[in-house]
Amino acid sequence: MTKSSRSDPARITHINVPKASDILAEQLRSLILNGQYQPGELLPAERDLVHSSGISRTSVRDALRLLEVEGLITTRPGRAGGSTVRQVGRDAVARPLQLYVRSREIDLASLFDCRLAVEPFLAGRTAANRTEADLAHIEEIHAAFLAEEDISHYKRLNLDWHLAIAAASHNDLLYTLMEAISDPIFETSGYQQATTAEMRKAAKTAHEAILEAVRARNEPLARKRMERHLTAYINTVSARHGDPSRRSEPPASEEHQTP
Amino acid sequence: MTKSSRSDPARITHINVPKASDILAEQLRSLILNGQYQPGELLPAERDLVHSSGISRTSVRDALRLLEVEGLITTRPGRAGGSTVRQVGRDAVARPLQLYVRSREIDLASLFDCRLAVEPFLAGRTAANRTEADLAHIEEIHAAFLAEEDISHYKRLNLDWHLAIAAASHNDLLYTLMEAISDPIFETSGYQQATTAEMRKAAKTAHEAILEAVRARNEPLARKRMERHLTAYINTVSARHGDPSRRSEPPASEEHQTP
DNA sequence: AAGATCGAAATGTCGGACCAAAACACGAAT
DNA sequence: ATTCGTGTTTTGGTCCGACATTTCGATCTT
């Protein structure tokens, strides 16, 4: 047998045998994304799709299941049920990302790197784009954060504070990424280690400073301060973790931010 | 709503009726993520799962389909087929993100904001972490980029250049995000508009400068130059697009509008 | 021994039946 | 007239059994 017919040994891409459900799913997905089905609208009933597509109900259901996992539709039983088109939600991005992190066993350092890349930028955008309502919401959480003493609540409020800052940037996509990244960090055991009173004090003053820059609509300042805040935190954690390899230097001018 | 509600039914979370397949999927997912099934290993055959789980093959297949969409397994027909555990791939993150962007109709400005947040950071990290092999690979693409004259090839090589820089940062997660974001940008019509010879010239000198900083392992310089490069590009594009609202500029002057 | 052929084992597809949930229609009780 | 059941209808959810398709291994042939 001539190894691989004739002249082309390895040039062809791996042949992909499409399943019937994949084809239908692709068609429906295309219709949805092109706006032929608006969010809130109902797709045809399964048995109707069977009739109009010519494939069995098993395959039709498989296709719908695919779209459901992708977050494009939700499907409910009952008389007025069916498959409703919806906008893809944040969780449809966050869940795969979380699986990716867990499956690849991404380490804390990389996760914090992501925050370090995204959060200062978002803080700057928030300073630039925030509305008064945004500010009010942030102040509310900030007040609760300052007042909180209980450790477990503290951690939650800390995260909420950062998310509130990110949300006020009015960049939906970046906020979604930030939220998606925060989740694995929050659940990683390394992050759950004890937070000392010292660290909490430092965090509170840092938050205060950042918030002040946001109030003043000072974009570069908010960005810089958020960067310092995160860097300081990372250094503290990795130092305590007995992992000095990941120390990052403070940006530019030394200001001796931490105790 | 967030008022104190004692003993009244407004507090319960939305009831979640789990499908049979969801339960099995959850169990298998947990087994996989906890390492009970290593990547490359085979899950039990569908009919075995039917026997051991007690649910029908329809539901078992549904569960497996779920895991497949999540990227945790691949399943092939045939005698030695079955469901093979695998590490979650980049595309399992990129695809949902792309759907999110298309479904929410995220505008180009937000997408570029993402690049502006991520890429300079990655360029810095690349300057810090690159190996000689990384550098060689980048230089190779860079040379091709400089030499290319054809427009369509140019765009592809331009993207490749940026991806190569990002890949050399050795931060898997951030690179994945960068790649995932680049894809929608590349396909958006607004980006596909004509690229003038002027812009290409500017890009080539900018790339040269960035690469020089990467060679010199100068982290802040690489970062700064990448930031300038992207900002300049965004300004050019949005100016041409007749959309002056997204100019990146100091917030200096105040808008005069009705209070 | 190389090649063709057949069988076995696994997923993929099908059709039909039935179950469960949810809204609706309609009638009885208040 | 309003409310409360109660049944009906429509829809997705589940099960079953059969067959199709793919792939590998074994056996047979030359």
For chain A, domains (ranges, CATH) are 18-85 (1.10.10.10), 91-246 (1.20.120.530)
Instruction: Residue B255: count other Cβ atoms within 10 Å of its Cβ.
Output: 5
pLDDT of residue A12: 58
The reply to whether the CB atom of residue B23 sits less than 7 A from any atom in nucleic acid chain D is: no
Strand partners, A237: none
- Predicted TM-score (pTM) of the model is 0.87
Cross-chain Cβ contact B103/A111 below 8 Å = no
pLDDT digits (tens, 9 = 90+) for B44-75: 999 999 999 999 999 999 999 999 999 999 99
Block residue for tokens 């298309």: B102
Residue A150 per-residue DSSP state: -
Instruction: Residue A105: count other Cβ atoms within 10 Å of its Cβ.
Output: 9
Distance of B60 CA from C13 C1′ (whole Å):
15
Calpha distance A51→A65 (Å, rounded): 18
pLDDT digits (tens, 9 = 90+) for B184-220: 888 775 555 667 888 888 999 999 999 999 999 999 9
Which residues of chain B make contact with A66, given a CB cutoff of 8 A?
65, 69
The amino acid that residue B219 corresponds to is E
pLDDT digits (tens, 9 = 90+) for B83-93: 999 999 999 99
Of the candidates B224, B211, B223, the one whose C-alpha atom is nearest the C-alpha of residue B145 is: B211
| Strand C-contacting residues in B 24-63, CB cut-off 7 angstroms | 45-47, 58, 61
Block residue for tokens 């045809």: A44
* Half-sphere exposure at residue A203, Cβ-oriented, CA atoms within 13 angstroms: 23
Exposure string (b/e) for B177-187, b if CB count within 10 Å is 16 or more?
Answer: bbbbbbbbbee
Give strand letter and number of the nucleotide nearest B42 (CA to C1'). Answer: C10
Instruction: Residue A219: count other Cβ atoms within 10 Å of its Cβ.
Output: 21
When pLDDT is cut at 50, 70 and 90, the band that residue B12 belongs to is low
Calpha distance B123→A122 (Å, rounded): 18
Give strand letter and number of the nucleotide nearest A17 (CA to C1'). Answer: D22
Exposure string (b/e) for B35-48, b if CB count within 10 Å is 16 or more?
Answer: eebeeeeebbebee
Calpha distance B237→B251 (Å, rounded): 20
Cβ burial of A12 (10 Å; 0-12, 13-18, 19+) is exposed
Calpha distance A193→A207 (Å, rounded): 21
Question: Has residue B6 got a pLDDT over 70?
Answer: no
Cβ burial of A75 (10 Å; 0-12, 13-18, 19+) is middle
Blockwise average pLDDT, block size 10, chain A, 259 residues: 38 74 97 97 97 97 97 95 96 96 92 95 97 96 87 86 97 96 79 74 94 97 97 83 56 42
Strand partners, A75: A83
Give strand letter and number of the nucleotide nearest A81 (CA to C1'). Answer: D11
Token duo for residue B147:
């030499």
Cross-chain Cβ contact B171/A252 below 8 Å = no
Closest Cα in chain B to A62:
B62
Please enumerate residues of B whose Cβ is less than 8 A from a Cβ of A. 32-33, 58, 62, 65-66, 69-72, 87-88, 90, 92-93, 95-97, 99-104, 106, 110-111, 113-114, 116-118, 121-122, 125, 171-174, 176-177, 181, 220, 250-251
Residue nearest to nucleotide D9 (CA to C1'): A79
Strand partners, B73: B85
Calpha distance A208→A227 (Å, rounded): 14
Distance of A56 CA from D19 C1′ (whole Å):
14
Cross-chain Cβ contact A128/B99 below 8 Å = no
Number of cross-chain residue pairs from A and B with Cβ atoms under 8 Å apart: 131
